[in-house]
Chain A
Amino acid sequence: MNLFTIPLRNIRRRPSKTLLLLLVFSLGVMSIVALYQVSLVVGYSLEKKLTTFGANIVISPATEKLSVSYGGFHLGDMVFDVQELPEGKTSQAIRSIKLQDRIAAVAPKLVSMTKIGDTSIALVGVHWPEERGIKSYWAAANGRFPEKPDEILVGSQAASKLGMQVGDVVSIYGKNFSVSGILFKTGSDDDSVILVELGVLQTLLNRPDATSFIEVAALCAGCPIEDIVDQISMKLPNTEVKALQNVINQRMASVHFVQKLALSVSLVILVTAAAMIGLSMLSAVNERKKDIGILRSLGYGKSQVFMIFCLEAGFIGALAGFIGYVGGFGASFKALEYLALSEGAVPVFAVAHLLLASAVFALITIVAAVYPAWKGASVDPTTALVAL
């Protein structure tokens, strides 16, 4: 028996009213939780899809003097012999950072200048699966993507400059390659280069394990890209790790849009539910003027009367938060199933979140009850008792 007994007993006295209030608020909490969970998963899968449209982190050797450009950063033809990243070690380091689950793709590259006939051309060694993973927009205008080690893919501009066609055989560093496909115009540096399997190029150049730079596609939802960049930098001290901010910003804008939408709908639901609680408490204050008069005559201060109303609202809020969180969690699975989004990411149930939800919704109902509680506390005890 303590102050809490009073609101608790009062709640029990009106089971139907309390249940109704609880139902409405629980449903509100439920839709908010479900919306939040769904928006997280949708945001995540959206971002995952967006990573196939290019990398957002570039890792390169710390070089100072560079002249040829590819991929938005520079290489010097005379320098790259010395400036290179060991492929195995670097890729492994990237994959082993603390936020490794945020790394969607690692695409290493080796760039080399060569001459075909009289024309200088950049030769870029790539791992086909990784490269195509971050460049889903790539399409072969003619032919197909290379499948064998001695096949190459030629950028559209390079092909026209060199007059190359699908099926042509070209000699590069003394080895014959056949053109398996010509890339559609991409508008990027890829248009003016010849792409070849990385391992083949490394062998040809007698630089096993060498890469010029590595592109990384990272998922930034839920953690800042700076953290990922920092963690990679720590693992790779002699490299330059650069986040492509404009790519990231664009991508996060799409993801955030989904989440902001969910947030605004949640806010509307929340305000409505809180208003209901507030209104119900306000009518309760009028019904309970006599109770207030009795309590005041027994020495209860205004603050204690205030507390009784806040405790009552807070109790309903906490209970609704609990029920709503569990319910909303279940509902989010149904919703994701319905949206066919269940693979990829799954909402994660956390007891800490459940308790947090209870606490937060208790706080919200308490805030909603502040005005009614204040009204109750201000009731003049004598008029309350005179009013029959």
Chain B
Amino acid sequence: MLSAYNITKNYQTNGRVVPVLKEVSVNISEGEFVSIVGRSGSGKTTLLNVLSTLVRPDSGELKYRDDNLALFPEKRLNRLRQSDFAVIFQFHHLLPYLSVLENTLLPFMSSLRPVSKQRVQQARAGLERVGLADKADRLPGNLSGGEQQRVAIARALVKSSRVLFADEPTGSLDKETGKQIMGLLMELHQEGLTVVMVTHEPGYASLAERTIAIEDGTIVH
């Protein structure tokens, strides 16, 4: 469903070219739950961002279904991120000045056309699903880290995304909250969502059907 071949990505730091991804190839099937593990600085986030099209690789091929994303213009990538892909980060998911409900509907607020009633219904249902129905009108500042994370998941639900990219979604949460989030992700995966998750924690990585280990920009297994 989503496959990357020979992806390389270099970053310039202090005038030096630092290779971050060295000819990385990944193949993710529809409905799969894949975890990406590796030490800090090994290139996990960069790989995830390349897969979610937030970062353009320097070379290599990226295929989603039958489309070659490397050939996609910016506009089509935006549309893909708006519809099929959802990303959750470790922090910073929510705009602090929008309510929880508005944050959930953010993907649909990108034009001057008002968000439809039906979408609002979906958003409320999504919040209900992650257990935040009663906090829909709060500002994110009043939510705990786990609750903010759940808003981001509700947002992915409303978009009815096909692939969820999660970059250490439990990284900033306490154990109990982390477990809840993982439970939620597992549930969604069981309902057919493709999940690609970067994680530090071996316990969570093992919940995935498959684990990709990365070291210094190369996949080791």
Q: Interface code A1-43, partner B: CB below 8 Å = 1, 0 otherwise?
A: 1111110011011000000000000000000000000000000
Which residues on A sit within 8 Å (CB–CB) of B113?
2
Q: Looking at the complex, which of B26-34, B96-104, B176-184, B189-197 is the stretch in contact with chain A?
A: B96-104
| B81:A13 contact, CB within 8 angstroms | no
B87 nearest CB neighbor, chain A only = A297
State whether the Cβ of B1 lies closer than 8 Å to any Cβ in chain A. no
Tell me if A299 and B81 are in contact (CB < 8 A).
Answer: yes
Q: How far is the CA of A66 from the CA of B78 in the complex (A)?
A: 82
Answer yes or no: B83 CB below 8 A from chain A CBs.
yes
Give the contacting residue for A386; candidates B45, B109, B155; CB below 8 A: B45
Tally chain A residues at the interface, Cβ within 8 Å: 28
Q: Which of A2, A9, A297, A381 contacts B114 (CB 8 A)?
A: A2
What's the least CB distance linking A306 to chain B, in Å? Answer: 12
Stretch at the interface among A155-163, A190-198, A286-294, A356-364: A286-294
CB of A1 within 8 A of CB of B102, answer yes
Q: Are A294 and B110 in contact (CB under 8 A)?
A: no
Question: What is the bound-complex CA distance between A144 and B82, given in angstroms?
Answer: 90
Say yes or no: B97 contacts A9, CB within 8 Å.
yes
Q: Point out the residues of chain B lying under 8 angstroms from A386, CB to CB.
A: 45
- Does any Cβ of A come within 8 Å of B94's Cβ? yes
The CA-CA distance from A295 to B106 in the complex, in Å, is 8
Most buried by B among A6, A10, A293: A6
A9 touches B102 (CB 8 A): yes
How many CB-defined contacts (below 8 Å) exist between A and B?
85
A301 at the interface (CB under 8 A from B): yes
Whether A382 pairs with B111 at a CB distance below 8 angstroms is no
Verify if A348 is at the interface (C-beta below 8 Å from B): no
A298 and B82 within 8 A (CB): yes
Taking a contact as CB atoms under 8 Å apart, the answer to whether A13 and B96 are in contact is yes
Q: Does B207 have its Cβ within 8 Å of any Cβ on chain A? A: no
Question: Is A304 a contact of B110 with CB atoms below 8 Å?
Answer: yes
Nearest-CB residue, chain A, relative to B119: A1
Q: Tell me, in angstroms, the Cα distance from A2 to B109 when the chains sit together.
A: 4
Q: Does A267 contact B (CB under 8 A)?
A: no
Q: At the interface, yes or no: B154 with Cβ under 8 Å from chain A? A: no
Q: Is B105 engaged at the interface, CB distance under 8 Å to the other chain? A: yes
Contact B97 A299 (CB under 8 A): no
Which residues of A line the B interface, CB within 8 A? 1-6, 9-10, 12-13, 290-291, 293-302, 304, 381-382, 385-386, 388
Contacts from B to A (Cβ < 8 Å): 45, 49, 52, 54-55, 74-75, 78-83, 85, 87, 89, 91-98, 102, 105-115, 120, 155
